[in-house]
Homo-oligomer: A and B are copies of this chain.
Amino acid sequence: MSRMPGAYLEARTTEIRDAAMRVFVRKGINAATMQDIASEAGMSAGAIYRYFESKDQLVQAVFEYCREENRALFEDRRPEGASLLEAFVGVGRTVWDEFGEPGARDRFAVRLAATLAGSREDDPLGGEMRRMHTDVLDRIESFVRQIQDAGELRRDIDPHALALTILSAVQGLRMLFVEFDEQIETEGVLEILNRMLRGFMPVREEN
């Protein structure tokens, strides 16, 4: 009736999605009732159905949101004017910065839940998650290869294995971050990983 119908709708949708995310993290997806979510969003349970077809779709939307957040993080971060290895380290910095952002734990928890849900038999979500992680993995691996090609990393390092190790460490740390309710000293881990990378640099002299 008024103008900007789309904007309003989108704002409400986001509001509900965020409320749902908070409740999911707090009580678990199954234990969260539509009533809980509605209360958190400050509306009635029935109203949610104007924005989401079903609870399932709402769950998918929350998953989607967190997945996209993650995907975006790993994309196209290539600070100029540094060595490739330093650029790679810079991406690490960006990834680690997320630990300090508000709501990070909640997003991590949802991603964890999504991963778990995706691992279920015939869950359509599984494909999405796997695709995203394969994508991230490929990106890291190709980055590593470039660093190797630039002569900044030993050639006897398996790029796939290194990518897998790094992604594992990131995911595992996020898991612990969720589990220990943010009481984790994440910086030390980044430093260890960076030192590992530097340790993998080719020995220049004498060579």
Contacts and interface: CB of A to CB of B under 8 A. Distances in A.
Question: Which size bracket describes the interface of A in this complex?
Answer: 35 or more
Count of chain copies: 4
A160 interface: yes
Contact of A119 (B158, B170, B178, B187): B178
Given A172-B167, A175-B115, A130 B161 contact: no
Nearest to A112: B116
B179 A165 contact: no
Contact of A109 (B116, B173, B184): B116
A3 B119 CA distance: 41
A124 interface: no
26 contacts: A112-B115, A112-B119, A112-B175, A115-B179, A116-B116, A116-B178, A118-B179, A119-B178, A130-B179, A133-B179, A133-B180, A157-B192, A157-B195, A158-B191, A158-B192, A161-B185, A161-B189, A161-B192, A162-B192, A165-B188, A168-B168, A168-B169, A169-B172, A171-B171, A172-B175, A196-B196
Interface of A: 25-28, 30-31, 109, 112-113, 115-121, 126, 129-130, 133, 157-158, 160-162, 164-165, 167-173, 175-176, 178-181, 184-185, 187-189, 191-193, 195-196, 199-200
